[in-house]
A and B are shown apart, each in its own frame.
Chain A
Amino acid sequence: MSEDAGEHITAIETPVYLKYNFTAGQATTRFLQQVRQGKLVGQRRPECDCGNVYVPARGSCAACGLPTTEEVELGDKATVQSFTIVWIPIPNNPIQPPYIVANLVPDGANISFIHLMSECDNDSVHIGQRVEAVWKPEEEWDYAMDNIRYFRPLDEPDVPIEMIGKVPLAGWEGEA
């Protein structure tokens, strides 16, 4: 390119804005209606051999590919399946680092969801740790997972790794 061809253009800006009306889905709607009432409710397909209880359910038993038709009430207690300590500030996120994001399996469910942990010593959080939900005051409940502020540690024995995702609603009483 000759010198008088002007400025060398290396990039152009073309912002994209698209508007959508998002819908959660029928199964997720059922879940959110329960969360609005302060309950964590999973779903399963009773006919499935796998017996998996999903939370939040997306509409199918992912193992079998068929609809989850039955609601399964879950407890407020859960087990840490995995976790990370977030050290970087995320734009528009009011939570100050460092904080814990964890994969949690509620008692009675077989699949984890992601939530926050707090009221804990970050350095002592570990896989298999028992935690419980800390809900917002009832008047603040909405159709949202942040009705639960975070999960905090429980003074209960750890769940062995092979048992994570298999703890019944009755809870974890330690190794038999």
Chain B
Amino acid sequence: MKDIAVVSFAQSDCRRDAGACNEVELIMPVIEQALQEVGLRNSQDVDFTCSGSCDYQQGAAFAFVMGVDALGAVPPIKESHVEMDAAWALYESMLKITMGQAESALIYGFGKSSPGELPTVLSQQLDPYYLAPLWVDSVSLAALQARVLLDRGIISEQDMAAVVSRSRANAKANNPHAQLAGDVSVEELLAEAEWVAPLRKHDCCPISDGASAMVIATVERARSWGRPFAVIKGIDHRMESHNIGARDLARSASTELAAEKAGVANGAVEVAELYAPFSHQEIILSRALGLDDSTEINPSGGVLAGNLMMASGLSRIGEVARHIMNGDIRRGVAHATSGPCLQHNLVAVLEAA
């Protein structure tokens, strides 16, 4: 696969409730910012546009079509949508470019989770015969997974709290868009009550409203724009069974395979941004990716600091790209997930041009 350049990235604040903003009003500012960074006017100036969102979140049918109002789609544009995190909209856009049908693309993801009850809404993505009718919510499933890890002695509650403590501190230091940030010790966290045992509330990502956007292009086109860019050297995504009981929840086999195919181990990983909605999942993921202490994990605080459902995966890639574009690092890894207990995972390797 040819290298693809990430040229710009923008993300909104993570807010518990974006209040009166509708989808268009959430999307417009980040799209405008991502385009302006490259000197582009609107989606007419790129060859392809792809979005990621899920209508179940805000309970508005065809909300993603409303989102097109933020693009300037007159005259008509080439546009597509995934009912997934926008990391997969990036994947589709990369395929479009790789097939030679586009040289540049605008990608955006948005989620307004506040209107509904997100953990319950997410139960409806489970298999429709055995699990969805039971209304098994996303937090309860994650708690089952954490229990497996704790009972097998793979992790401790201290390990989980340490993930949260670092997330909050990193968010405070590095992430102006974070919803949860601050200095909180492992001891303070462990003193809090269990919520959905063995998870404490802080082990779970917050519910957030917001959006993110990105411009990608062929390396040739990116050079012509004359701005710093990062290149995606490898990307792969793998999915596990929808049958929770058929999976080994203590590891992420799909992430391991995606990491191998994307070439994570082909060089040093200076920064990794992992989409871990629950503290124990960051540990599963860093192991699946073969990361050790030499990698800085989630300098943004990750999604424990703010989780824009359907945009946070794209944001993970954007965060790593920004470190490279700023010249802070030369190589990093980004990860996106979807589905219960890390069912579906995407891994991308980004490097300096």
Considering the complex, give the chain B residue whose CB is closest to the CB of A67: B28
Task: Annotate A23-34 by CB proximity to B: 1 below 8 A, 0 otherwise.
Answer: 111111100000
Q: Which of the listed residues A16, A27, A59 has the most CB atoms from chain B within 10 Å of its own CB? A: A59
Residues from chain A with a CB closer than 8 A to the CB of B20 are 23-26, 29
Count the A-B residue pairs with Cβ separation under 8 angstroms: how many? 92
Asked if residues B22 and A14 are in contact (CB atoms below 8 Å), the reply is no
Contact (A60, B24) CB under 8 Å given A22-B60, A65-B69 = yes
CB of B295, distance to nearest CB on chain A (Å): 38
- Measured in the bound complex, the distance between the Cα atoms of B42 and A50 in whole Å is 14
Q: A120 at the A/B interface (Cβ < 8 Å)?
A: no
Residues from chain B with a CB closer than 8 A to the CB of A27 are 22, 24-25
Q: A20 at the A/B interface (Cβ < 8 Å)?
A: yes
CB of A68, distance to nearest CB on chain B (Å): 10
Main secondary structure on A side of the interface with B: loop
Task: Annotate B15-31 by CB proximity to A: 1 below 8 A, 0 otherwise.
Answer: 00001111111001001
Residues from chain A with a CB closer than 8 A to the CB of B28 are 59-60, 65-67
- Measured in the bound complex, the distance between the Cα atoms of B115 and A157 in whole Å is 47
Considering the complex, give the chain A residue whose CB is closest to the CB of B58: A20
Interface residue tally on A, bucketed by range: 20 to 34
- Measured in the bound complex, the distance between the Cα atoms of B24 and A29 in whole Å is 14
Within 8 A of B (CB), among A128-144: none
Asked if residues B22 and A20 are in contact (CB atoms below 8 Å), the reply is no
Which residue of A18, A59, A61, A67 is within 8 Å of B59 (Cβ)?
A: A18
Asked if residues A18 and B66 are in contact (CB atoms below 8 Å), the reply is no
Closest 4 CB pairs of A and B: A25-B22, A65-B72, A20-B59, A63-B74
Q: Which residues of B contact A (CB under 8 A)?
A: 19-25, 28, 31-32, 42-43, 56, 58-60, 66, 68-74, 114-117, 120-121, 124, 128-129, 132-133
